[in-house]
Amino acid sequence: MSESLVVASATPEAQFGTIEGGGAKASPPSIAIRHRRGLSGSDIATITGLSAPAIIVFVLFVIVPVIVALYYSFFAWKGFGTPRYIGIKNYADTLQFPELGQWFVSLFSGGAHAPLPEFWAAVGHNGIIMVLSLVMQGPLAILVALLMNQKMRGRSLIRVLIFVPYVISEAIVGTGLHLMLQDAGAVNALFHSNIGWLSNPKIAMWTLMFILTWKYLGFAIILMLAGLQGIPEELSEAGAVDGASYWQIQWHIMLPLLKPTIKIWAFLSIIGSMQLFDLVFVIWGQYIASIAGVSTMAWYMAANGRLSGQLGLGSAIAIVVFFISLIVALLYQRYVLNRDTDGALTEAGDK
């Protein structure tokens, strides 16, 4: 943005000075007034050229698929033939409001509980995964990152080994763990037990959380470690000079300065939890996940849409999942991430 500076003074005396007592009185400093003009043609062309590729990719791979899914969500369609318009029936089948109402009535009636509709059970599982991922991975990642931030032998090798599970394909991890954790798998054979790691509804969710923690903890550690290394060492050294212990320095200096990194990681973890599909589908398959209590929204969409030959229903489920994820992301952006920006703008205005 181009700017022009105009130097002005309040009075002629302020510009040239006045004579008092045979001497010249120093004039006050001139006032610089900035006049801002609009963007020039070259600025607009530069901004357009730099942003156009990203906008085109976003429109083609996000906006267009959402619009196409929204269109087909009002039709009964198997992927071939002529789609048949059925209105909002796919959304009614997805949201299952009559069944959800019966579940609420049975919940407060004191009688036998009606089963929670399958889609809403999947939504609840996503919520459980989201909360447990934050609770289990966050503190552990911060602790390991604090330890890894110290100078030690083999630190680079340890970082690589920690990050290896994250870069392994989910299909490979899921296939291997499915073979190991099934009832006749290597884990039960090793411990001479018959535990249903994958089939028992009371254990399956904890099995999934152990797998997710092992798989994605390395990413959280590397992210926290990058945030710690961006903190000046002079701050911890000053705390040590003042007599603070190692853990006092970490708690009162390092962790508060690490909050922006923690918020970004939490946001990525929440979005990943809402989109979880591949590990659940590879390990539990198309039908067992619902029985074991580890079904997710994305799994429900694939199982009842594409794999069942009901692409119209799958499109409706995709639209519902899209808006649920969008609302969660916007709420986090509004009430968590924006606080840092608002605080920075307030401090800048005060200065």
C-alpha pair distances (Å), 57 with each of 50, 69, 98, 119, 212: 13, 18, 40, 31, 30
Q: Is residue 233 a part of any domain in this protein?
A: yes
Shared-domain flag, residues 16 and 120: no
Please give the residue range of the domain that contains residue 226.
Answer: 89-350
Same domain, 151 and 286: yes
- State the total domains in the chain: 2
* Domain CATH for 203: 1.10.3720.10
Tokens of residue 347, six digits: 């401090």
How far apart CA 215 and CA 282 sit, in angstroms, is 14
Q: Are residues 28 and 171 in the same domain?
A: no
24 and 130 share one domain: no
Identify whether 195 is part of a domain: yes
Is residue 348 a contact partner of residue 340, using CB atoms and an 8 Å limit?
no
pTM, to two decimals = 0.80
**Same domain, residue pair 284 and 200:** yes
In tens digits, the chain (351 residues) has pLDDT values of 444 444 444 444 444 444 444 444 444 444 444 445 667 878 888 888 899 999 999 999 989 999 999 999 999 988 888 899 999 999 999 998 888 888 888 888 776 777 889 999 999 999 999 999 999 999 999 999 988 888 878 888 888 889 899 999 999 999 999 999 998 899 999 988 889 999 899 999 999 999 999 999 999 999 999 999 888 888 888 988 888 888 888 888 899 999 999 999 999 999 999 999 999 999 998 888 888 889 999 999 999 988 888 999 999 999 999 999 999 999 999 888 876 655 444 444 454
What does the alpha-carbon distance between residue 209 and residue 21 come to, in Å, rounded to a whole number? Answer: 85
Residue 97 inside a domain? The answer is: yes
